[in-house]
Amino acid sequence: MNPVALTIDLGGTDIKAGLVDASGAIHDDFRVPTGDDLGAETVAARIMEVIGSLNSKAALRGLFPQGIGIGVPGGVYEDRATISQAPNFPAWRDVPMKSLIEKQTGMPVLLDNDANLAALGESWMGAGLDVDSMILFTLGTGVGGGVILDGEIWRGAWGMAGEIGHVTVDPGGPQCGCGNHGCLEALAGKKALIEAAISVVAENRSPILQNLIEGDAALMNPKHIYDAAKAGCEACRQIFAAMGENIGIVCASLLNVLCVEKFVLGGGISGAFEFIIDSVNREILKRAYRIPASRVRVEKAVLGNRAGLLGAGKMILDYMPAINNGRGGQ
């Protein structure tokens, strides 16, 4: 018997899916559009179609599904059954996704925040493989995070731990999408990078970047900024260095509280790791206690889009022995 988990990474644009086995291999992974109707029941029906496809693929391979793990871009209560809210799905409030799926499949279902599962995936099969404690930053449109302590996701008292993007760095800073001012996300997310780059162009400090966007600031994206930095643009390198400073400030505070062994930087903007890392390390050494600051490592995530599927797979495969032993897995 070759047990596998049916794994789903739910996004506002795409649903990624695959079969994950106990060795960490992903079989038959694919993605489909989430669709324009983002109502909870419509999305649940779309997930059911994906599950049907995964079951068919498992049968063809002689694999035996054990359960369904779903990563969602939002808050999940500590029961791993109900989605409290999800920014990509604005109308969602306290959606009982676990029961919606279980009633139709008869299989055990667990949910978790997508960044939590990405952190678990990196811990299991990626950059955190050699440590017991790590914190993942997901750097993209927003800034997310996941905390792994003693090899397990730390979800906190109400399942909402790990919201690293909403740690306040500068109380007088720009307003964040969450309503607070000066969050890490407001200073190091995609919007902040683009605004900084547009200012660089407006001040005529980067002919390279000006050429890359063909003179149209509306076209600006993080890849343009990275490509300009690679081509030698000092102003663009400084944009990433400032981003790294803010990340490093948060890392130092987290290190003083949790004393983890490693910080892992993932997400699309982590592609600029080479221009971020030095300032991250400088801030850690400046602000954290000497021993952890000198020993902690900051590394780039290695699993890319596979991290969430692997984390969802491990969540289910770890859960099943508890079910079989009558403990319920909670």
Query: Across all residues in the chain, what is the average pLDDT?
Result: 95
Q: Residues 65-85: what's their mean pLDDT?
A: 94
Query: pTM higher than 0.85 for the full model?
Result: yes
How does residue 159 score in pLDDT terms, banded at 50, 70 and 90?
confident
Q: Please tell me the predicted confidence (pLDDT) of residue 329.
A: 44
For residue range 171-217, what is the model confidence (pLDDT) as tens digits? Answer: 999 999 889 999 999 999 999 999 999 999 999 999 999 999 999 99
How does residue 327 score in pLDDT terms, banded at 50, 70 and 90?
very low
For residue range 238-294, what is the model confidence (pLDDT) as tens digits? Answer: 999 999 999 999 999 999 999 999 999 999 999 999 999 999 999 999 999 999 999
Sole residue written with tokens 């489909």? 32
| Percentage of residues of the chain with pLDDT beyond 90 | 91
For residue range 105-149, what is the model confidence (pLDDT) as tens digits? Answer: 999 999 999 999 999 999 999 999 999 999 999 999 899 999 999
Q: Please tell me the predicted confidence (pLDDT) of residue 324.
A: 56
Q: Residues 221-241: what's their mean pLDDT?
A: 98
Q: Please tell me the predicted confidence (pLDDT) of residue 322.
A: 59
Q: Please tell me the predicted confidence (pLDDT) of residue 88.
A: 86
